[in-house]
Structure 1
Amino acid sequence: MQERYVSTSELCNRYDRSRNTMLRWQKSKSFPKPVIQGGHGAESRWRESDLKAWEDKQVYD
């Protein structure tokens, strides 16, 4: 199965949070790091599997 990548704007929709909140979450040690770094107008991307693992950990912590 091919890995799906999630953009910052998709993260905002997924968690119903603002872009500023997503930027703060990115700086936390527990939030998954993007696998594709944004730069020069590009948008960062996260593996959906990393996000799901993080979500599962939040439920059990």
Structure 2
Amino acid sequence: MGEHLGKRLAEPRRVTRLIRLPEVMSRVGLGRSTIYRWMSEGRFPKPVQLGGHAVAWSEDDLDEWIAGKLN
């Protein structure tokens, strides 16, 4: 187990940017209602809870979703 932990610590940490709804809508070309409906249907990435009612989406998750739509 110690080797595994040491290996994880040696890897560089990748930090993903968190994106709020207005930028998400701009990037994917969808409106708020469609994004939330598709989330409930499992067709769009879920956001990360920031606290209170504030949420944001992982830039990596959105990039993967967009790439999947292009294929």
Query: What's the TM-score once normalised by structure 1's chain length?
Result: 0.69
1:12 match: 25
Identity %: 33
The aligned runs of 1:30-49 (5 Å cut-off) are 30-36=43-49, 39=52, 42-49=53-60
8 Å CA contact 1:3–1:47 kept in 2: the answer is yes
From 52, 55, 58, give the equivalent of 2:66: 55
User: RMSD value over aligned CA atoms?
Assistant: 2.0
2:40 match: 27
Which consecutive segments of 4 or more residues in structure 1 shift more than 3 A?
none
8 Å CA contact 1:5–1:45 kept in 2: the answer is yes
8 Å CA contact 1:8–1:22 kept in 2: the answer is no
Q: How many residues align?
A: 58
8 Å CA contact 1:5–1:47 kept in 2: the answer is yes
Which of 1 and 2 has greater Rg? Answer: 2
1:28: Cα distance to partner? 2.4
Report the structure, 1 or 2, having the larger strand content. 2
8 Å CA contact 2:17–2:58 kept in 1: the answer is yes
Taking structure 1 as reference, are residues 20 and 38 closer, same or farther at Cα in structure 2, changes over 3 Å only?
farther
Report the structure, 1 or 2, having the larger helix content. 2
